[in-house]
Amino acid sequence: MKLERSAQLYQRAIAVIPGGVNSPVRAFNGVGGNPIFVTRAQGPYIYDADGQRFIDYVGSWGPLILGHAPRSVLDAVARAAKDGTSFGWATEREVELAEHVTKAVPSVEMVRFVSSGTEATMSALRVARGFTGRDRVVKFAGCYHGHADAFLADAGSGVATLGIPGCAGVPDGAVRDSLTVPYNDLNAVEATFSEHGDTIAAVIVEPVACNMGLVPPSPEFLPGLRSVCDKYGALLIFDEVITGFRLGLGGAQAHFGVTPDLTTFGKIIGGGLPVGAYGGRRDIMRVVAPLGPVYQAGTLSGNPLAMAAGIATLECLERPSFYSDLDSRAKTLTDGLDKVLASHGNIARVDRVASIFYLWFKPQSDRPARSYDEIKSADAGLFVRFFHALLNQGVTLAPSAFEVGFVSNAHELQHIEATITAVDLALKSVLG
Ligand SMILES: *Cc1c(COP(=O)(O)O)cnc(C)c1O
């Protein structure tokens, strides 16, 4: 590993940007060492400032389901850019992307585009509160819904990586109405509703938890949330910022057959440009201004370059065998990793949902995790050593023991085989 240029850039960065980064996990605090600076990327590869190439499973933290710099998306963005980068007026591309989304996800009868997943969840909560006239929200420990105040209690992703219990700067009042319960714990949800039911506006959940490692829902969890919400007149919000267009065109709601009232999107829906979206039942979405009294707006919302990238991406995903191909590649990867891990005494296990995977060390169980507590019991120290050893072998995982990996359709068999070999070599060097 060469780090000359990345180290120089990092020194410049820390003088002018907090921690040298514009999103905390990138700073490598979770794994130590000098963050790598990326100059370009193509297909399954990223290239760093020192000219090194890595097979990348971060995929910009989820959006890049087609791999890096796919030709069709680049062309669409270039065509859009020729017409101007932003107008602040209504455009046809917004209508077109909204039509793609509402067609793919039938529970979303109307959709509003924003510029990030954070804005999407924050706005969906406001809509739920405006629609129900209630204030409280139930969320789950270890789920991440972006960095809006109301969601920064016991959150996943960077909050988990940095071990931050709450968040400074968030007034008590902003999280007073946020009730946090353990993931997959329907009894806790029911207890919370029996105490506060008539004041709860919504339950927000990652239908597959992907920001505290990978925690799939137990079979009864999502249907259980649906019926509790129905019983008490609260709205069910699926935060599909990761799972949307990842678990299939219809997202987690189609995959598990549970229909939420509101859905939030981000990541894939913008094809690598800054986009988020929230949508749902028509009667609920009609509270959004200018139709109704819930204000939500954005100077760059529905940005033409971002809409073009989103449309070009969804058009690829709409190809008939897209998801079966992608998921079988991911399965080839995790099957191969299973064998390698077995040959190392099952020091770690790898879990997978569709094309999302997660590798964790010294798990206490022989099944996927069911809660944040279980993930927290993993051996993060061993992950740190493995992360660096794997980087040395030319493969990037996210620099945190709490983040998942993403397989894209640019990961071909040769890249997957090279990854399996790299993991084997990395484990040999870590375990001596
Ligand atoms: C990434 C993420 C968000 C936040 O999206 P940003 O675009 O980073 O603001 C919200 N919810 C989930 C489930 C996410 O994974």
| pLDDT digits 0-9 by tens, 352-372 | 999 999 999 988 778 999 999
Length of the chain: 432
Catalytic residue flag (residue 376)? no
User: Which pLDDT does position 164 carry in this prediction?
Assistant: 63
Indicate the top mutation candidate among 242, 273, 358 to test ligand 1's pocket, ranked by most ligand atoms within 8 A of CB. Answer: 242
| Atom number in ligand 1 closest to CA 276 | 7
Residues 409 and 290 in one domain: no
Q: Which of 154, 177, 185, 267 is catalytic?
A: 267
Last-in-domain residue among 261, 292, 317: 317
pLDDT digits (tens, 9 = 90+) for 169-179: 998 888 899 99
Query: Which residues form the domain of 142?
Result: 71-317
Which residues, 6+ apart, have CB-to-CB distance to 232 below 8 Å? 193, 197, 198, 200
Residues 258 and 166 in one domain: yes
Low-confidence spans in the chain with pLDDT less than 50: none
Residues 125 and 36 in one domain: no
Last-in-domain residue among 317, 347, 363: 317
From the list 19, 28, 47, 25, the residue with the least C-alpha distance to 387 is 28
From the list 402, 130, 94, the residue with the least C-alpha distance to 285 is 130
The 10 Å Cβ neighbour count of residue 187 is 10
User: Which pLDDT does position 163 carry in this prediction?
Assistant: 63
Residues 309 and 393 in one domain: no
Residues 295 and 351 in one domain: no
Catalytic residue flag (residue 325)? no
Catalytic residue flag (residue 232)? no
Last-in-domain residue among 317, 339, 356: 317
pTM: 0.97
Residues 296 and 230 in one domain: yes
| Atom number in ligand 1 closest to CA 61 | 1
CATH assignment of the domain containing 169: 3.40.640.10
The domain total for the chain is 2
Sign of dihedral through CA atoms 139, 145, 148, 153? positive
